[in-house]
Structures are given as structure tokens and as C-alpha cells.
Structure 1
Amino acid sequence: MKRQNQSMIAEFILVGFSTLGDLQILLFFIFLLVYLTTLMANSAIMTVIRLDRALHTPMYFFLFVLSCSETCYTLVIVPKMLSNLLSTSPTISLSGCAAQLYFFVGLACTNCFLIAVMGYDRYVAICNPLNYTLIVSRAACLQLVLAAGSCGFLISVVVNVLVFSVPFCASNRINHFFCDISAVIKLGCTDTSLKEMVIFFLSILVLLFPLVLIFISYVFIVSTILKISSAEGQRKAFSTCASHLTVVIVHYGCASFIYLRPTSLYSSDKDQLVSVTYTVITPLLNPLVYTLRNKEVRMALRKVLSKYSFPKTV
């Protein structure tokens, strides 16, 4: 059997922020602070929803699942990034890189579908309120969440097979702070244009299909709200959608910038900056937006804090 003239790569070097020199220490403390705040904020959201029976509704069930997914999403990326900021040799094994990409893509796709499901929930609540509890039942909620997760991780399996079936023999230096699709597949030493095309169409499916469904939902939502006679009724209806719309704009905006374009347009410096937004900032933004803009969550949070943080003295 003829031996191929190529070396097997056992590990990758995550170049990341190594070009910034001493600024890496400052970045470490900034990202650590944001990460801990993210964990506390998402944990607070999940705890409040779990403890307050008034929040045991489909909308807050989906928010609970999204917060849980966002927490796992940050666990996949941020701890390794933080350790690499303090390391003189920021490496990751081939299997570790594959695992990171698998969970990152799976959770990211799941989040996209969950946000679309939350848009559907708002559509039913505003456009068909009399049948809301029948349409968005507990069984339906579980089925929608399971479908979102199953589709997300099925797509992740396909992406992982496409990326890691490429022979890596040219370089092991990934110009990113984690194993992202474009950064890894660029290291292949064979023609990857067909694989990149498949990944591009999967990106369209994951990003544009849910976004179109969300857009259609909000066309009906806005049409229904405008038919409400009182200004106060319109304001309350719009306020229930404002948090979701904010998350949609930030989440899909950043992800579309990265993944809805050919790999040939990949720019490591610009992409790392945008990647920081959707891997570090967005998971923090979601609980903050839903907490600060949602009166029910704020009231529940105050109730839980007063009940458990300040026990009565005997």
C-alpha cells in the first residue's frame, strides 16, 4: 500500500488573541467577568421560572430551555478560550476540536430553532388567544423543544462529518479562538468547495428558514395588534414581543454575517470580533433583555429574592 506524503495532525494551535500580547491578560479578566455574569444571569432566570408558579406558562418554559441551552453553549467555548488567554501554548486536540465544533453547532442550531418556536408562541398568544392553551399545550411544548434539539444536533453531525473528513496536512494553526467551521475547513489540503457549498446551504436552512417563519408570524402579530382599539392594549401586546424581537435581531444578525457567505471571504480578525458577540455577549444579552423588559420576570425575581435571600429571624 502506497504511503501518502502527508502528516497526520493530532492537535491544533488556536491562534486566537495571541497577537495582542499583554492585552490578553486584560481580555481574560473582561471575558471572565462577562462569563460569570452570564452564568449567574441565566441561572437566575431558570431558578425564578422554576420556583414561581405564575411563570409556568409556555412562553417562560421556552425561555427556561433557551437559558439552559445558552449556558451549555458558553460552556463549550468560553472556558477553553479563557485558559488559552493565559497559556503560552494554546492548543486543542483533534478529538477535542471535533467535540467542540459538534456541541457548538448543535447548540447554536438548537437556539435558532428555539427562537423561532418562541416567535410561534407569541403568534398564537396574540392572534389566537382563546385557543392558546389548547394549541401550545404542555405536550406540544415538549415536542417543539425536542424537535428543535433533534434537528440542531442532526445538522451538527452532518457538519462535523463534512469538516473532519478533510485531510489536514498543510497547517495546524487555526486563526480563531475556537474550532469554528470556516477556520477549520480552511486547513484542508484538498478541494473543499463541494463541502463548503453543502455547509452554506445548511446555514441557509438554519438561519433563513426560521427567520422567514418569525417574519411571517410578526406580520400577523402586527396586523392583529393594530386592530386593538385601545392604545394601552396595543402597548401591552407590543411589549410582550419587544424582548423576543431584540434577541432575534442580535442573534440572527451576527450569525448571518459569519455563516451566510462563502468561506473565501473569511477574515480572521473581523470574524473573531463578531464571534465574540455571539459566543460571549449574546448569551448574556438574552437573560438581561428578558429580565429588564419583562415586568412579570422582574416581579418574580424580586419575590424569589425576598423569600430566599432574607429569611425571617426567629
Structure 2
Amino acid sequence: MRDSTNSTETLVTDVILLGFPELCHLRELLLGSFFTVYMVTVLENLVIVVTIRASRPLHTPMYYFLANLSVLETLYTSVTIPKLLAGLLVSARTISFSGCLTQLFLFLSLGSSECLLLATMACDRYLAICPNVLNNFFCDISPLLQLCCSGTVTIEVLDFVAALAVLAAFLPMTVVSYAHIVAMVLSTPGGAGRQKAFSTCASHLALVAIFYTTTIFMYAWPHAVSSFDFNKLVSIVYLVVTPRLSPVIYCLQNHDIREALAQLHQAPGPS
């Protein structure tokens, strides 16, 4: 990593991506291969999207999911491959720290979205719905499985694996980050500053804990909970309560956000 250093702290500004140093003698071959595969992938997915959009007989749920999968695949590869190609082409192996975090966020988000989309496509292809009444207030996986006319073991396992994949991608990172934050807050000198920082951190932790606890309860168990009334109550927590509290905890308690809102409120209207 490249950094700028002063007497009190080290600020990371760039991250160095090593790439494939052990295959430097094959740089041209790797560049040509990755570029060809990337272009073919993008073109194939674009053709699928355009074809489905242009053909009215293909405007069905199954092809709608396939078009979205093609879009996800294009974005998923475009997050990482161009930087890989740049490193092979001009040895541009550094990436800014903010760019690194942005790439990580997009990579994990798109990968998780693809897992969920694949699970939804499996539901669309597998489920044969007999009654058409859901004991819920939105279309969730467990009520839909109850409408299935045949066995649901395969789709339940797929849903369980998809939920674990999403949680495995995001939950450990969240837990480790907040653990470091708590440790830093506890080591901060000064009672008033520490109390304020810990209060803010505690509210963030509470919201994260509520969201992950309810979603794990709903989706990360091998078998669906039998009481759908209780499931609906849990769903209310992460669909209604958590989104209601998030703006207050993450934004409206922030001094800069409050100042910006005050300035917007005081700004004169157009003359």
C-alpha cells in the first residue's frame, strides 16, 4: 500500500493489486484471453437483453428473470475485469482506497443479487401453484412454498444456501468492522467524547443486530417456521421498523446532515 505519513497517523490512499506476477511471461496471452472472454460475455448478454425486450412473445416472467440475469452478469464482470485488463495492459496496478471499497461494495452487492435472482428463477420454474391465497402481506418464499403442489425439499435447500451465501458475504465483514469500532471507542480518552461516540455506535449496532437477527430467523434456517402469523410479525420488523429507524440513526443524528438540512430549509426559493 502507498500512504502519506505524519507524526501521529498513517493514511492509506492507494491499494496495490499484484495481479498475476508469477505469470508475467504470459501477460500478452492473459490479456488477449481475458479481453476476448469479457467481450463475448458482454455481447452475449446484451443480445439476450435486446432480444427479450424486442420480442413480445418473450415478455413472460421466466424471460424477464433471464434478462435481469444477463444484466447482472454484465455488471458483475464489468466491476472487476476492466481493472484486471488495465493491470495487464499498462501495469496500472494501483487503485484508490475509495475505489477499492466501491469495487468491493459493487462486487458483493451484485454477487448477492445474483444468488437471490437464481433462487427466484428456481422458484419460478419449479413451483406449480395450486391455491392462489398467500398467508402474508407480500410475496415471500415461505408462503409460496406452502402453495407448491409437489415436494419442496430442493427449493428449500436452494433458498437456504442462497441466504447463507448472502449472510456469509456481508455479516462477518459487518461484525468485524463494528468490533474494531467498539475497540477504538473504548480506547478513546476523554469521558464525554467516548460516551457520545459509544452512544452513536450502540445505536448503529442495535439496528444492525435487529436487521440481521430477523432476516436470519426468516431465511437462514433449513426449514420454514410453521407459524405464519409469527413470520408476518418478524417480517414487519425488517420491512417496516428497520427502514423507519435507519434514516434517524444513520443520517438525521449526523451533525453535517442536520446542518445541510437547515441550510436547505433556509435557502430562498426561486425568484
Name the TM tier (shorter chain).
0.5 to 0.7
When residues 312 and 257 of structure 1 are mapped into structure 2, their CA distance, relative to the original with a 3 A threshold, is same
- Structure 1 residues 229, 285: CA separation in 2 closer, same or farther (over 3 Å shift)? closer
1:196 and 2:171 matched: no
Normalized against structure 2, the TM-score is what? 0.58
Deviation of 1:204 after TM superposition, in Å, equals: 2.1
Tell me the alpha carbon deviations over residues 9-44 of structure 1, each in whole angstroms, 9 at most, x when there is no partner: xxxxxxxxxxxxxxxxxxxxxxxxxxxxxxxxxxxx
Given the alignment of the two structures, is residue 154 of structure 1 paired with residue 114 of structure 2, yes or no? yes
Residue 185 of structure 1 contacts residue 192 of structure 1 at CA under 8 Å; is this kept in 2? yes
Partners in 1 of 2:242 and 2:189 — Cα distance? 36
Structure 1's consecutive aligned runs of 4 or more residues displaced over 6 angstroms after TM superposition are none
Question: 2:250 maps to which residue?
Answer: 290
CA shift for structure 1 position 239? 4.9
* Alignment correspondent of 2:225: 265
1:244 is matched by which residue type in structure 2? H
Alignment map for 1:16-27 (pairs within 5 Å): none
CA distance in 1, matches of 2:270, 2:131: 63
Question: Which structure ranks higher in relative contact order (CA pairs < 8 Å, sequence separation ≥ 6)?
Answer: 1
Normalised to the residue count of structure 1, the TM-score between the two structures is: 0.50
Decide which moves more: 298-307 or 242-251.
Answer: 242-251
1:200 to partner: Cα distance: 1.0
Q: CA deviation at 1:269?
A: 1.4
Q: Does 1:143 find its partner at 2:96?
A: no
Classify the secondary structure of the residue corresponding to 1:265. Answer: coil
Equivalent residue, structure 1, for 2:131? 171
Q: Distance in 2 between matches of 1:167 and 1:222?
A: 45
Report deviation, 1:243. 4.5
Cα offsets for 1:225-282 (capped at 9, x unmatched) = 3322322442354355344323312211221221122444232211122212222332
Provide the C-alpha distance between the structure 1 equivalents of 2:144 and 2:202, rounded to a whole number of angstroms. Answer: 37
Task: Note if 1:306 corresponds to 2:266.
Answer: yes
Distance in 2, matches of 1:271 and 1:281, equals 15
Q: Of 228, 232, 235, which residue of structure 1 is paired with 2:188?
A: 228
- Displacement after TM superposition at 1:171 (Å): 2.0
| Gap change, CA 1:260 and 1:156, over 3 Å in 2 | closer
* 1:113 aligned partner: none
Which residue of structure 2 lines up, in the alignment, with residue 212 of structure 1?
172
Counterpart position of 1:180? 140
Report the AA paired with residue 104 of structure 2: L
Among the aligned pairs, what percent are the same residue? Answer: 32
Quick one: structure 1 residues 291 and 142, their matched pair in 2 at CA, closer, same or farther if it must change by over 3 Å?
Answer: closer
Against the structure 1 CA distance between its residues 235 and 167, is the aligned structure 2 distance closer, same or farther, given a 3 Å change threshold?
A: closer
Return 5+ residue gaps in structure 1 as ranges.
1-93, 107-133
SS of the counterpart of 1:165? Answer: helix
Q: Give the 3 Å change call, closer, same or farther, for CA 232–298 of structure 1 in structure 2.
A: same
1:280-299 alpha-carbon deviations (Å, 9 max, x no partner): 33222211222443222222
CA distance in 1, matches of 2:185, 2:164: 30
For 1:168 and 1:159, the matched residues in 2 are separated by 15
User: Of the two, which has the highest radius of gyration?
Assistant: 2
Question: In structure 1, what residue type is equivalent to 2:229?
Answer: D
CA RMSD of aligned residues (A): 3.2
